[in-house]
Structure 1
Amino acid sequence: MRQFLLLLVLSLSFCSAQKRKASDTFQQGIELTQQADSLITLGKYKEAIMVLNNAIIKTPDNYTAYLLRAQSKYILKDYTGAFQDYKSVLMMNLGKEDNQALAYANLGIGTCYNRAKNYLEAIRYLKAAKAIDSTDTRTYDGLAYSYFSLTQFDDALVELNALLKINPQHKEAYLSRGIAFLFKKQYQSAIADFDRALALDAGYIVAYHNRGKAKKALGDKAGCCQDWHKCYALGMESIEPDLKTVCD
């Protein structure tokens, strides 16, 4: 199962509520935040963090700046720093008009906890994010990953089913649901989901690999080897020992 890396692609729409109460200093903070957002778009995360540091000094309650800085820190693998920035947002006295910021902060904290393998805490925060915004597929992604890591496959399936209702074109969700079925030894259901993932991406190596596993479990050696040879043809050299053992 792929590790769900949930990078938060943020919109500066959060700033709209804050602009209504803007002073000159606050406006400077908003402009710095917009500048940092442009730097993030260019992949200049260190530079963005420096600009956001100044934005936060000028506007300590600028939650958009904290969220963007958390995103940048996460990408740079400063997970502790990202966690602290997300926490700072939750500590602000935000109202209902700021619910989207709260959802992002809870999602970010849950993602950090998943990264730290603290899955129970991840579930707590991801559920909080889902309670605020039930349309964000990343929350279901994160919860499925948490439950999967705890080998709670039925719970993972619940989240993946909900995710796929929101986005039926989510190939990673079909892959993950297929792997959950694989662990539950429901091989036909697993194959059906790997088929769906491959219908969306014919070059999806990991789907071929896992579909081969399911076919092997059903005694379909020819089908298994066909999928694993496809993996090798697509560049998965690590499959070669299995090809020699099972298929040659």
Structure 2
Amino acid sequence: MKLRNTLIALGISAATATGLSLLKVNKDLVVGSTAVVVGAGLMIALKDKNELNTKARNYEYFFNRAQDKFELANYEEAILDYNKALGLSPKEICLVYSMRGNAKRNSGDFDGAISDQNMALDFDPLYVDGYFNRGIAKFKKGDFNGAIQDYSQVLKINPKDSDAFFNRANVKKEIGDIEGACKDWRKAADLGDEEATNSLKQFCNL
């Protein structure tokens, strides 16, 4: 099975830009007593900006540290950092849920992995990695029909996802549907997947 672990490092987030936009003040308004109001507003904006920057930095720190721990197969500690990142995430909540689900999957908690992918998909029903990663967890749990459904959903969203064709083929092979597996391997191979080409040669008499 091909894995899809979204391993990225986050830079300055959109929250920082949002905070900076709070500092835009029309100089023409700073006249007489209005200056006091604008001055107070500027102080609030500065405070909000600092809070947004701090939250964004903390989120990036915990998410990136979780990714590093994931790479080192330290899944339990990665999950703890994903938990912290979830409480701070300004917008990447689907990504964090999905990555925490992958960490749970790799530690053997398949039900927890599926639950996290469900949470990601609750926020965004078109979050393709949620279906893909849930399919892997379902496969490892032995829910082959569920895995096939998830990979089929991936392909509805992105018909050129060779990894989804490849994985769905492997699930079909597992349940004895060699004909269906060969069709999916063929589609993956046509999209440039070398592993699918090898599987075609091995299992499909090509």
- The bucket for the TM-score relative to the shorter chain is 0.7 to 0.9
Task: Give the structure 2 partner of residue 13 of structure 1.
Answer: 17
Superposition TM-score, scaled by structure 1 size: 0.63
Does residue 83 of structure 2 align to residue 127 of structure 1? yes
User: What residue number does 2:130 align with?
Assistant: 173
Aligned-residue offset at 1:97: 7.8
Measured against aligned partners, the alpha-carbon deviations of 1:184-243 in whole angstroms (never above 9, x if no partner) come to 111111111001000011110010011111111222121111001111111112223321
Counterpart among 73, 79, 89 of residue 117 in structure 1: 73
Q: 1:16 to 1:240 in 2, by over 3 A?
A: closer
Q: Where in structure 2 are the equivalents of 1:1-248 lying within 5 Å?
A: 1-8=3-10, 10-11=13-14, 12-13=16-17, 16=20, 98-133=54-89, 136-248=93-205
Aligned-pair distance for 1:181?
Answer: 0.9
- 1:14, 1:98 within 8 Å by CA — same for their partners in 2? no
Letter of the 1:225 counterpart? C
Q: Distance in 1 between matches of 2:159 and 2:51?
A: 46
Deviation for aligned residue 1:14: 6.5
Q: TM-score of the superposition, structure 2-length normalised? A: 0.75
Closer, same or farther: CA 99–17 of 1 in aligned 2, 3 Å: farther
Deviation string 1:59-87 (CA, Å, 9 cap, x unpaired) is: xxxxx9xxxxxxxxxxxxxxxxxxxxxxx
Letter of the 1:16 counterpart:
L
CA distance in 1, matches of 2:22, 2:75: 34
Residue 17 and residue 128 in structure 1: after superposition, are their counterparts in 2 closer, same or farther (change >3 A)? farther
Q: Provide the C-alpha distance between the structure 2 equivalents of 1:189 and 1:227, rounded to a whole number of angstroms.
A: 17
Structure 1 residue 95, shift from structure 2 partner = 5.6
Structure 1 distance, partners of 2:90, 2:106, is 22
What fraction of aligned residue pairs are identical, expressed as a percent? 25
Partner amino acid, structure 2, of 1:4:
T
What is the Cα deviation at residue 128 of structure 1?
A: 1.0
Number of residue pairs matched? Answer: 176
Distance in 1 separating the partners of 2:112 and 2:174 = 24
| Alignment partner, residue 60 of structure 1 | none
C-alpha separation in 2, matches of 1:164 and 1:5: 19
Q: 1:105 offset after TM fit, Å? A: 2.1
Q: Which runs of 5+ in 2 are unaligned?
A: 25-48
| CA RMSD of superposed structures (Å) | 2.6
DSSP 3-state at the match of 1:106: helix
Distance, in Å, in 2 between the alignment partners of 1:218 and 1:117 is 30
User: Contact conserved, 1:4 with 1:145, CA < 8 A, in 2?
Assistant: no
- CA gap of 1:226–1:130, structure 2 versus 1, over 3 A, is same
8 Å CA contact 1:177–1:193 kept in 2: the answer is: yes
Distance 2:18 2:78 in 1: 24
Deviation at 1:17, TM superposition (A): 9.8
SS for the counterpart of 1:180 is helix
* Aligned match of 1:30: none
